[in-house]
């Protein structure tokens, strides 16, 4: 006896849809939808005082600032296209001045094995900024430098070097006027946490070690022309096919906005829409008016206690840490690695 294919795929489809109502926000999704109808997106910040250890740091900052300005509106277009908000507005201000005005401190974090920079902002200045632009919440995106341990393989995968590498990373937060952190990236409300850097500023020179017949591999800084070419490489926009955006930023925006969408479960939504009206609390006056319009011989429903407001209105307790200070530059490191011998 052969079963139709639809009978085989239907249980898999049901299991898939049952897990599609993922909420990556720090508050219940329903509360977020009621709170944030108009989202503002600030210009992409660049934390020049973070751990950017390149010997030509000024040139690196110039390249990143130009790339931020060229690509930041792509994020706005993506948010407009996903249909989650009534309106999405780009808040056009000078990014360096805005960052120095509202930024409070930076904290180096290592959560679930993910190393990143988390930013805190001045409550009063942030509230003034949000009220000035008449939005419900603001999305703050920051590019910064950080040292993070990583394993990098040679081109032929015959050698690997684990060490601290200097990377540029991109982080983001959505905060309301009360200072409540509504959403953040990297996002820790997923089962498998991933966080890829925006751009690695260093690399291990396996070819040099091989050419010199040594197992000592030097970690080198990428050249300024190479960094410029990497940030200038473009691809088609995911929203407007006629528009070109940086491949580096496009990947970051794709990873980020994956956790800005709410994949609804159609079975649960349908069940919620069909709830009886008697579950909602009504006043005695409204109840009397309804009885005059449409009297019913049925006995009145028992009085129910109004539902309590959402419990997420309070602010999370802040964690106080000393701000991170840029580390002093250090000499070029040499590490011993063992290559796989081919007999």
Q: CA torsion, points 71, 76, 79, 83, in degrees to nearest 10?
A: -140
Q: Which of the four pLDDT bands, split at 50, 70 and 90, describes residue 291?
A: very low
Domains in the chain: how many in total? Answer: 1
Higher pLDDT residue, 204 or 12? 204
- Can you list the alpha helix ranges (DSSP code H) found in 219-299? 224-232, 247-257, 266-273, 284-293
Q: Render pLDDT for 126-165 as a digit per residue (tens, 0 to 9).
A: 999 999 999 999 999 999 999 999 999 999 888 999 999 9
Question: Which SS3 state, helix, strand or coil, does residue 310 take?
Answer: coil
| C-beta separation of 253 from 78 below 8 A | yes
Within a domain: 342: no
Res 13: pLDDT: 45
Question: Which SS3 state, helix, strand or coil, does residue 13 take?
Answer: helix
Res 322: pLDDT: 42
Task: With a cut of 50, say whether residue 81 has pLDDT above it.
Answer: yes
Q: Which of the four pLDDT bands, split at 50, 70 and 90, describes residue 54?
A: very high
Within a domain: 225: no
Within a domain: 214: no
Res 263: pLDDT: 59
Phi, psi of 175 (to 5 degrees): -130, 140
What beta strand segments (E) does the chain contain?
Answer: 38-41, 45-46, 87-90, 103-111, 114-121, 137-153, 160-176, 181-185, 199-200, 202-204, 216-221, 234-236, 244-246, 334-336
Q: Which of the four pLDDT bands, split at 50, 70 and 90, describes residue 190?
A: confident
Q: Which of the four pLDDT bands, split at 50, 70 and 90, describes residue 232?
A: very high
Higher pLDDT residue, 292 or 52? 52
Q: Beta 45-46 vs 38-41: how paired, if at all?
A: unpaired
Task: With a cut of 90, say whether residue 337 has pLDDT above it.
Answer: no
| C-beta separation of 215 from 338 below 8 A | yes
Of 263, 284, 246, 199, whose CA–CA distance to 75 is shortest? 246
Residue 186: cis peptide before it, omega within 30 degrees of 0: yes
Rounded to an integer, the average pLDDT of 59-65 is 98
Q: Render pLDDT for 304-331 as a digit per residue (tens, 0 to 9).
A: 444 444 444 444 444 444 444 444 555 5
Dist. CA 179–CA 132, nearest whole Å: 15
Res 331: pLDDT: 52
| Domain span holding position 195 | 20-147+168-200+241-265+324-330
Dist. CA 233–CA 244, nearest whole Å: 9
Res 264: pLDDT: 57
Of 140, 125, 141, whose CA–CA distance to 177 is shortest? 125
DSSP 243: -
| C-beta separation of 116 from 171 below 8 A | yes
Dist. CA 204–CA 195, nearest whole Å: 21
Task: With a cut of 80, say whether residue 73 has pLDDT above it.
Answer: yes
Within a domain: 24: yes
Within a domain: 308: no
Res 209: pLDDT: 93
| C-beta separation of 52 from 209 below 8 A | no
Res 271: pLDDT: 46
Higher pLDDT residue, 292 or 157? 157
Within a domain: 172: yes
Within a domain: 104: yes
Dist. CA 181–CA 105, nearest whole Å: 15
Within a domain: 155: no
Q: Which of the four pLDDT bands, split at 50, 70 and 90, describes residue 193?
A: confident
């Amino acid at each position: 006896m052969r079963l139709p294919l639809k009978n085989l795929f239907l249980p898999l489809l049901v299991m898939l849809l049952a897990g599609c109502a993922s909420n990556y926000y720090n508050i219940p999704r329903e509360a977020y939808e009621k709170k944030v109808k108009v989202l503002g997106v600030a210009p992409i910040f660049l934390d020049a005082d973070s751990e950017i250890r390149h010997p030509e740091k000024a040139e690196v900052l110039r390249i990143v600032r130009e790339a931020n300005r060229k690509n930041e509106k792509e994020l706005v277009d993506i948010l407009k296209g996903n249909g989650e908000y009534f309106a999405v507005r780009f808040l056009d201000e000078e990014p360096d001045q805005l960052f120095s005005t509202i930024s409070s401190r930076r904290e180096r974090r290592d959560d679930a094995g993910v190393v990143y920079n988390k930013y805190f902002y001045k409550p009063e200045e942030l509230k003034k900024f949000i009220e000035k632009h008449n939005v419900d919440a603001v999305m703050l995106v920051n590019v910064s430098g950080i040292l993070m341990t990583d394993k990098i393989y040679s081109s032929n995968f015959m050698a690997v070097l684990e060490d601290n590498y200097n990377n540029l990373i991109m982080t983001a937060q959505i905060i309301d006027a009360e200072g409540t952190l509504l959403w953040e990236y990297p996002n820790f409300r997923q089962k498998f946490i991933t966080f890829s850097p925006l751009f690695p500023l260093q690399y291990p020179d396996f070819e040099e070690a091989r050419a010199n017949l040594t197992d000592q591999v030097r970690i080198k800084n990428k050249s300024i022309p190479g960094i410029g070419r990497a940030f200038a490489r473009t691809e088609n926009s995911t929203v407007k096919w006629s528009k070109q955006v940086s491949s580096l930023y496009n990947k970051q925006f794709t990873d980020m906005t994956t956790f800005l969408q709410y994949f609804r479960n159609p079975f649960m939504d349908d069940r919620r829409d069909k709830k009886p009206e008697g579950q909602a609390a009504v006043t005695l006056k409204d109840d009397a008016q309804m009885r005059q319009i449409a009297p019913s011989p049925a006995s009145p429903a028992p009085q129910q206690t109004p539902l309590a407001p959402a419990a997420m209105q309070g602010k999370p307790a802040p964690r106080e840490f000393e701000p991170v200070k840029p580390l002093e530059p250090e000499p070029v490191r040499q590490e011993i690695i063992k290559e796989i011998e081919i007999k």
